[in-house]
Structure 1
Amino acid sequence: MTKNIVQRLLVFILGVPLFILLVVYASFGRNMILALLVVAVQILCAGEAAALFTFKKIRINKAYITILSVSAAAIQYMSPILSDLLPSRPSPLEILLGVAMLGSLASIAPFAFAQKESFETILPEMTASLFVFFYCGILGSFLMYIATCFSQGAEPVFSFTLMTFGNDSLAWLVGMTLGKKRGVVAVSPGKSVAGFMGGFAGSIIAAFIAYLLFPNSGFGPPWAILLLGMLMGVSVILGDLVESAMKRSAGVKDSSTLVPGRGGFLDSFDSLLYSAPLFALFSAFLGFFAPLA
């Protein structure tokens, strides 16, 4: 086995039990430890995403965008309390959408005070700032929603991660053993058709496993589970490919070297971030896991 495969297996073997313990035994304070983990992921991913733009000589106020991103997730964590304080009693999901809009406006507001010598770079820098806030702040806030805004706290977290990493793991296994036709997607030429099919199937299988594990979570009917599994199957794959496109444009192989065998935190959490809105909205609209009103 190559060094990369050994590192991936070690991360999986050590990381999965640790994550399970974290979810099961850290449920106090509405999953406060998981909430802090989401914040840590936001900070690290925002730094790596901003670094990709620096390779293109596009500057971002990393500290400002990171603070905005973390603030959005923090407001999301406090959304049930805020809901009780506000006269209209908005749901956590409504608060999330409001924060996403206001945060997006705040991410580009500093450019209103740009100096004349920086006029030529305003458009790319404004676009980059908005994108990093969207990717790490808004998508990260959907991760926070999944972690803290359902009554059945551990079950949606397990189900979401199972569908995401089930896709990733089966895509890697099937692609490594059966993948022949590669290069079908230019941004990630190492990916194979067999790997994509394996990953897609992995999310569907994981969705039904979650249904069997949590029969009292309102997770159903079967057609909805199948649909969620299929949508997650596509979304997880797209999340990986979108981040690959970002790296291709920046001219780098990995977003960093912080995670052994996987590259950076952006490489490791790209599909989780990209798929979080789909899982959160689908579950909230269909009443899975008793979303907080």
Structure 2
Amino acid sequence: MNKVVKRLLIFFIGLPAVLGVIAFPFPNDRYLLVNIVIMIASGLGALETANLFKKKGAQLHPVLAFSLGIIFPLFTYLELMGITSRHVLMAVLTIGVTLIFSSQVIGKSNEDFKPVISRIGGYLTSLFYPGLFFAYTTRLSLTNLVDQSYPYSPYPLLIFILMTYGNDSMAWFFGVLFGKKSRGLIAVSPNKSLVGFLGGLFSSCVVGLLIYLVIPDLSITKLPIVLLWGFLTGIMTILGDLIESAIKRSASVKDSGDIIPGRGGLLDSIDSLLFAAPVYYYLLIWILY
């Protein structure tokens, strides 16, 4: 089975499965299921980030890297559920960062100090990438978009997934079919084409337009704002993909892992979401309020 077929299967099977998980309120409309998926994905993404640092000689403990990766999504969810306050997240982050630094001192021999900077950098990056950005998908899963009678609406996250994965998929589709002559413009990802980027941006804007036309109950009334929403989300989707490409080039690897057939690692599949999520979220808040 070639890579194109694998990628198409992921799109036609994987994407509907993801949308189904998002649309299924479990339990008690708290969207626990989708947030468990978000936490696991964030932890695995952090683990793959740690493995990329390993390629550069930083030996990071996999369990610690995974645990760091779930901090932001986990405590964001607990805060939004009213179980903890934002001060708890800050306290956990402060303790975690303190332990990261202090662990490089206690019980170390002279030979252990040379890679200290690499290890600290690896752990801190695993804490924030993808966790900090992925936590915004948790916020989106619990954002009211219809009215106060639907306090945990799935619409924001569903629209976000359609905008970002639609962008990613259409960029690949247009790039493969029409983009051969416009490749090599961006050094960090020479196989990406200008035609592909434009196709992806167009897809994000079209999703915004369709949402505007198909779901009239949403509190979105101005078409130019909706198109701007899709355009800026699309820009950040592309940026997220390019940033991960830069990290992988630094580690001299093609994929962050091999967990997903046809796409590589989990980080290769969520990279487009990461920097788009906070931009999409704050634009959503601006549009609604």
How does the TM-score come out when normalised to structure 2?
Answer: 0.87
Q: Distance in 1 between matches of 2:68 and 2:18?
A: 27
Distance 1:262 1:176, change over 3 A: same
**In the aligned structure 1, how far is the partner of 2:126 from the partner of 2:64?**
11
Which residue of the partner structure matches residue 174 of structure 2? 174
1:104, 1:197 → 2: CA distance?
Answer: 41
Superposition map of 1:148-167 within 5 A:
148-150=142-144, 151-167=151-167
Match of 2:131 in 1: 137
Indicate conservation of the 8 Å contact 1:155/1:214, yes or no: no
Aligned to 1:23: 22
**Hey, what does 2:101 align to over in structure 1?**
111
Q: Contact 2:141–2:152 (CA<8 Å) still a contact in 1?
A: no
Instruction: Please list every run of at least 4 consecutive aligned residues from structure 1 whose deviation after the TM superposition is greater than 4 angstroms.
Output: none
Q: 1:233 to 1:26 in 2, by over 3 A?
A: same
The Cα shift of 1:149 comes to 3.9
Percent of residue pairs identical: 32
Write the deviation string for residues 23-43 of structure 1: whole angstroms up to 9, x where unpaired.
333353411110111012112
Could you tell me how far apart the structure 1 residues matched to 2:143 and 2:34 are?
12
Match of 1:198 in 2: 199
Match of 1:248 in 2: 249
Give the structure with the larger helix fraction. Answer: 1
Letter in 1 for 2:5: V
Return 5+ residue gaps in structure 2 as ranges.
145-150
State the Cα distance separating 1:211 from its structure 2 match: 2.3
What is the rounded CA distance, in whole Å, between the counterparts of 2:80 and 2:42 in structure 1? 21
Gaps (5+ residues) in structure 1? 87-94, 289-293
Moved more, 277-286 or 261-270: 277-286
1:170–1:100 distance in 2 versus 1, CA, 3 Å:
farther
**TM-score, normalised with respect to structure 1:** 0.86
1:153 Cα offset (Å): 2.0
- 1:47 to partner: Cα distance: 1.3
Which secondary structure does the structure 2 equivalent of 1:56 belong to? Answer: coil
On the 8 A contact 1:31/1:147 being kept in 2, the answer is yes
RMSD: 2.3
SS in structure 2 at match of 1:263: coil
Instruction: Output the amino acid matched with 1:244.
Output: S
User: 111, 124, 127: which one pairs with 2:118?
Assistant: 124
Per the TM alignment, residue 214 of structure 1 is displaced from its structure 2 partner at its CA by 2.7
1:99 aligns with 2:89: yes
Give the distance between the partners of 1:172 and 1:104, measured in 2 at CA.
40
- Report the equivalent of 2:147: none
8 Å Cα contact 2:167-2:200 kept in structure 1? yes
The structural deviation recorded for 1:152 is 4.9
Q: Which structure ranks higher in relative contact order (CA pairs < 8 Å, sequence separation ≥ 6)?
A: 1
Identify if the C-alpha distance between structure 1 residues 54 and 104 changes in structure 2 by more than 3 Å, giving closer, same or farther. Answer: farther
Determine the C-alpha separation between the residues in 1 that align with 2:280 and 2:24. 23
